[in-house]
Amino acid sequence: MDQNIFSAAEACLQIADIDTKLALSCEAGVACREGWLDFASAGEPKSIGTARFPERPPRVDPRDLPRRRINTLEGRVALLHAVAHIEFSAIQLAWDHLYRFRGLPETYYRDWLGVAAEEAEHFAMVRERLRELGADYGDLPAHGGLWSIAEDTAYDVAARMALVPRYMEARGLDVTPGMIERLRQVGDERSVAILERILHDEIGHVALGTEWFRWVCGQRGIDPEAEYFVLVERHLKGQVRGPFNAELRKRAGFSEAELARLEAAG
């Protein structure tokens, strides 16, 4: 693995092989903790269009994804496959957060590298569970909504922090508790434990998005709460989706005013 964080990020983003991407993410996390990484900027980032994904799963419109009941094996596999795809996309997202935007404090890069390593752990856990159920990642189609937002926000770190951690990933805080409860009702405690670990970590990931969004806005002299909704309107045409888990969102840094405005819009 390259000891420069930006070179390592570029290599990881441009590798399609899943196992290699996971290994590089874990190795980079260790290298960061041990103080082996160099944070000097290494040239300009390549276009976000150069990032590579595995051939499988095929990506389709969300409306074309199959709907299955969770009280069947097929339904649990479909749910876990969707979670696996979100977690794999989140590995790519965390790497791109730190690769694409330069000139930020070193802590920013350390934070998102830590997230990349955690997302790799999440993906590995869900994939192992899929295999225990007789399936694997890539067996079903998936949608590319998370990455399309990353492409749309590649021009600016504030837009990226607002729309990816604080909008798209924050939806996980709203919907994952319900997924956990449905899995518990059908007795799948193994999957419950995995989703509980993911939910715990995702609160921290969204909180990092909040922290860095507000930091960037502060550097620019912009009100972060007003700017958040400007960016939501610009990129998503104000199509806010509820319901919202106010307790978890507060733990991830959402203010009472933001939550009230989201509730009114959703």
CA-nearest of 62, 70, 74, 58 to 138 is 58
Placement of tokens 């969707």 in the chain? 82
Q: What pLDDT is stored for residue 142 in this prediction?
A: 86
Task: Check residue 13 and give its pLDDT.
Answer: 95
Give tens-digit pLDDT for 71-122.
Answer: 899 999 999 999 999 999 999 999 999 999 999 999 999 999 999 999 999 9
> What CA dihedral angle connects 164, 165, 169 and 172, to 10 degrees?
-160
Name residues of the chain where pLDDT drops below 70: 1-2, 61-66, 238, 266
CATH architecture for residues 5-41+64-265: Up-down Bundle (1.20)
pLDDT, residue 245, reads 97
**pLDDT at residue 3, as a whole number:** 85
Which strand (E) or helix (H) includes residue 70? none
End-to-end Cα spacing for the chain: 44
Q: What is the pLDDT of residue 63?
A: 67
pLDDT tens, residue by residue, 213-231 = 999 999 999 999 999 999 9
Rounded to two decimals, what is the model's pTM?
Answer: 0.94
- CA–CA dist 191, 185 (Å, integer): 12
- The secondary structure of 90-130 as a DSSP string is HHHHHHHHHHH--SS-HHHHHHHHHHHHHHHHHHHHHHHHH
